[in-house]
Amino acid sequence: MRIVVTGATGALGRLVIDELLATVPADQLVAVVRNKEKAADLAARGIDLRIADYSAPETLAGAFGAGDRVLLISGSEVGQRVEQHAAVIVAAKAAGVAQFAYTSVLGGPDADFQLAAEHQATEQAILDSGLPYTFLRNGWYTENYTEHLAPALEHSAVVASAGEGRIASAARADYAAAAAAVLTGDGHQGKAYELSGDVAWSFTEYAAELSRQTGRTITYNNVPADAHLEILTGAGLPEPLAEVFVDVDAAIGRGLLAGTTGDLARLTGRPTTPLADSVAAALATV
């Protein structure tokens, strides 16, 4: 049996590899990547590389083998992911993999925001394929905010359109540890895990934490959705992507990313990373 991680050079993929290497010999790991040069460090650690592209189905034929445990990390190209993921599903089915885990979205079929649609379609395609599946329904990464601190620090304001909605985020490393636990453990087939942080926070609390750690007064500027869209596009974000982000804030306002199920902590065997720790880590790199 091998463990195969797709998208292995991405931010989440690399963390999953690191987690796996703590308990799995490198020669039992396979990294599916688009760019061999970008994955040179993985090869140097003894990990087998498979060069493949979600958008080129013919390249996926040799990526998987019978009995493999596979993690499909969802693609980053919004609007293209259903077709891309379908190609991976077909290749995994043809290879006869033993487990097919997929990084989906918190709430699964009950999530009603735009970003969830491609994940829902992918989940259904996996179910239709008959693959032995595990759905890792990831909530928000705290890094979605802490990796983009510059505007908040420059303007002394956190800008969003989520009202006082709360976000049960966790660090990307927490989600990576959960994926590694599912790929190396037993009893996870046919299950869907709702993964989120232990504590939900609001943007008001986020701004307060930034203020506390920087010694500055940073406020939360809650703006209407149309104003938020204008701000994002004015900063250079393509309008379709900006619309997705504004729609997510609306979902936050409705409480759809606030759930604290405890699944993430149970899978990893540890509490999720507190918001304050993630803020501190991000500020140390600014």
Task: State whether 151 and 85 are in the same domain.
Answer: no
- pTM, two decimals, is 0.96
- Residue 15 is predicted with a pLDDT of 98
Residue 181 lies in a domain: no
Indicate the average pLDDT of the chain.
96
- Residue 92 is predicted with a pLDDT of 97
Task: State whether 134 and 151 are in the same domain.
Answer: no
Task: State whether 51 and 18 are in the same domain.
Answer: yes
Mean pLDDT of 238-264: 94
Mind listing the pLDDT tens digit for each residue in 156-208? 999 999 999 999 999 999 999 999 999 999 999 999 999 999 999 999 999 99
Residue 99 lies in a domain: yes
Task: State whether 88 and 46 are in the same domain.
Answer: yes
- The answer to whether 129 and 97 have CB atoms below 8 angstroms apart is no
Residue 133 sits in a domain of what CATH number?
3.40.50.720
Number of domains in the chain: 2
Residue 78's pLDDT band (cuts 50, 70, 90):
confident
- The answer to whether 30 and 97 have CB atoms below 8 angstroms apart is no
- Residue 191 is predicted with a pLDDT of 98
pLDDT at residue 241 above 90?
Answer: no
Last residue of a domain, one of 123, 138, 153: 138
Residue 139's pLDDT band (cuts 50, 70, 90):
very high
Residue 234 lies in a domain: yes
Task: State whether 224 and 158 are in the same domain.
Answer: yes
pLDDT at residue 79 above 80?
Answer: no
User: Residue 72 is encoded by which pair of tokens?
Assistant: 């499909």
Task: State whether 8 and 121 are in the same domain.
Answer: yes
Residue 179 lies in a domain: no
Task: State whether 87 and 202 are in the same domain.
Answer: no
> What three-state secondary structure class fits 70?
strand
Mean pLDDT of 228-245: 92
Task: State whether 153 and 247 are in the same domain.
Answer: yes
Task: State whether 207 and 118 are in the same domain.
Answer: no
Mind listing the pLDDT tens digit for each residue in 15-56? 999 999 999 999 999 999 999 999 999 999 999 999 999 999
Neighbours of 228 (CB within 10 A): 21
Phi, psi (5° rounding) for residue 14? Answer: -65, -40
Residue 279's pLDDT band (cuts 50, 70, 90):
very high
Residue 24 lies in a domain: yes
Residue 134 lies in a domain: yes
- CA 207 to CA 122: how far, in whole Å? 35
Residue 148 sits in a domain of what CATH number?
3.90.25.10
* Residues in contact with 98: Cβ distance below 8 Å, sequence separation at least 6, in sequence order: 1, 66, 67, 68, 69, 132
What percentage of residues in the chain have a pLDDT greater than 90?
Answer: 93
Residue 185 lies in a domain: no
- CA 254 to CA 252: how far, in whole Å? 5
- Residue 178 is predicted with a pLDDT of 98
Residue 175 lies in a domain: no
Mean pLDDT of 222-250: 93
Candidates 159, 144, 79; CA nearest to 114 is 79
DSSP characters for 38-58?
A: GGHHHHHTTPEEEE-BTTBGG
**Domain span at 42:** 3-138
Task: State whether 95 and 221 are in the same domain.
Answer: no
What percentage of residues in the chain have a pLDDT greater than 70?
Answer: 100
How far is the CA of 220 from the CAs of 106, 148, 217, 235, 283, in angstroms? Answer: 25, 15, 10, 18, 18
Residue 100's pLDDT band (cuts 50, 70, 90):
very high
pLDDT at residue 80 above 90?
Answer: no
Task: State whether 7 and 130 are in the same domain.
Answer: yes
Task: State whether 134 and 106 are in the same domain.
Answer: yes
